[in-house]
Amino acid sequence: MWTPGERLRNRPYQIESLLGQGGFGLTYKARHLPLNHLVVIKTPNANLQNDPEYPKFLQRFIKEGQTLAQLSQKAHPSIVRVNDLFEEEAIYCLVMDLIVGESLFECVQKQGILPEPEAIEIICQIGDALTIVHQMGMVHRDAHPGNIMLRKGTPAVLIDFGIAGEILPTIFSYEHPANRSFAPYEQHLDGSREPTVDIYCLAASLYYTLTGQVPTNSLKRKLQDAPLVPPNKRNSQISDSINYAIMKGLALEAKDRPQTMQDFMTLIQPSQPIIVSPPPPKQQILNPSETMQLISAKGIDYRRLEAFLASGNWKDADQETAKKMLEIAGREKEGWVKVSDIDRFPCEDLCTIDRLWSKYSNGRFGFSVQKRVYESLGETQNYDKKTWEEFGELVGWRVNNAWLWCNDIQFTPDAPIAHLPSFSGCVGVGVWVFGLGRGVVRGKCVVRLYFHLENCKL
């Protein structure tokens, strides 16, 4: 990490300050000494160099930096310009313009909601920029109000292009946790890089600009069936056409949103009346038929588990999973697993169990799905009571401020996403596989498992 006042060797820059720091990258404000003007320098986090995935990460950083430079050559007024990409002591540096101004988030916080015509003008400027980005094969993934910069007399500018959403977390992402409400659930769960992610985010930004409030968190909409409050219920001055455009852009499923940014822009500024069509019927969950190897580092037979899952016998599959977890830990006699046992779980076995659950639930259940939901709350390896309880509510293990007993778990294919396996298995009266209770001990074990999954690349 560079310190204020430090000068770089390969370029005439002097570090002014650290603007932001995340798990993946660092953002600095720096001064170009000969020209005496300020810039932003982004670098990968040097602590990642020991990660086996770092070479791929670095290749992506370089490739996206080159793509951003191509975008800069077209000089779009709403795209932050990239000036240089160079290497400094084995660390790649991306130099971008420092946009001095006020973010859309700050603007609404200070002066309140914007008039509809002004809000539409800003969103359309950003939408036009994103159209070009999508044509270049990139997705921003973080087009929330904290990344939309406003300056007098010039178009709005979308900062932190491309690498911001996946590689370099922004200051806004850490200082304003509410930005989770600007992302669709598939971005939380599987890191989607489809254009429909940006469409959702931009629709959420327009929602915020016109109401001063964030839309209902997409994960809560997906996992808890929480309703999305239409923006015109929070601001009656919003026109019917804009209300419809926002709701369409905020459709829970990506397939129900406009599929291109141009389509979304047409909804915001339609040339003809909009005909509202009924939502498409929900798709049935189909069981994949392909076979898979049931690998175990301890010679454990998973065919019985697969049979239960293939037949849709979710309760027996949950019990069988609990038994296999005890067998892996060598604690069949005790009937429960300790926190210290988790790190010794072989990755091969965890991967097999996870793949079986994911395969036969069509991606709804499994360890890796649960891990992504937990990580979306901002935690990775440390147990936190508040986060654990919020996670329990999202996946349906905790209802009305109380943890469910094992017999109350939903063993149906339409149970909340990540609801199964439940880590209970009902292997004994009131006995939970991970600890002897439903709260702290179980929470510490499960969170430790999710951290261990990271080492297993799940």
Parent domain of 147 = 102-163+178-268
Higher pLDDT, 202 or 442: 202
Query: Do 50 and 89 belong to one domain?
Result: yes
pLDDT in tens, 204-217: 999 999 999 999 99
Kindly state whether residue 284 falls inside one of the protein's structural domains: no
pLDDT in tens, 40-81: 999 987 777 777 777 887 888 888 788 888 877 767 889 888
Tokens matching residue 143:
């087009």
Kindly state whether residue 297 falls inside one of the protein's structural domains: no
Domain termination residue (choose one: 97, 122, 142): 97
Cα 238 from Cα 211, distance rounded (Å): 9
Kindly state whether residue 86 falls inside one of the protein's structural domains: yes
Q: Please tell me the predicted confidence (pLDDT) of residue 414.
A: 82
Query: Do 65 and 116 belong to one domain?
Result: no
pLDDT of residue 228 exceeding 50: yes
Cα 68 from Cα 90, distance rounded (Å): 21
pLDDT in tens, 295-348: 999 999 999 999 999 999 999 999 899 889 889 888 888 777 777 888 889 999
Query: Do 255 and 106 belong to one domain?
Result: yes
Kindly state whether residue 280 falls inside one of the protein's structural domains: no
Query: Do 119 and 203 belong to one domain?
Result: yes
Which range in 88-102, 274-288, 329-343 is most confidently predicted, on average pLDDT? 88-102
Query: Do 33 and 144 belong to one domain?
Result: no
| CB-CB contact of 123 with 209 (8 Å) | yes
Query: Do 51 and 11 belong to one domain?
Result: yes
Indicate the residue type of 110: K
Query: Do 90 and 108 belong to one domain?
Result: no
Kindly state whether residue 53 falls inside one of the protein's structural domains: yes
Kindly state whether residue 201 falls inside one of the protein's structural domains: yes
Query: Do 311 and 424 belong to one domain?
Result: yes
Cα 294 from Cα 350, distance rounded (Å): 11
Kindly state whether residue 278 falls inside one of the protein's structural domains: no
Give me the CATH number covering residue 188: 1.10.510.10
Domain termination residue (choose one: 211, 246, 268): 268
Domain termination residue (choose one: 97, 116, 150): 97
Q: Kindly report the CA angle at 339 between 334 and 344, in degrees rounded to 5?
A: 90
Query: Do 81 and 111 belong to one domain?
Result: no
Cα 423 from Cα 20, distance rounded (Å): 38
Query: Do 19 and 139 belong to one domain?
Result: no
Cα 227 from Cα 221, distance rounded (Å): 6
Could you give the number of structural domains in the chain?
3
Strands (DSSP E) found in 134-183 = 148-151, 154-158
pLDDT of residue 440 exceeding 80: no
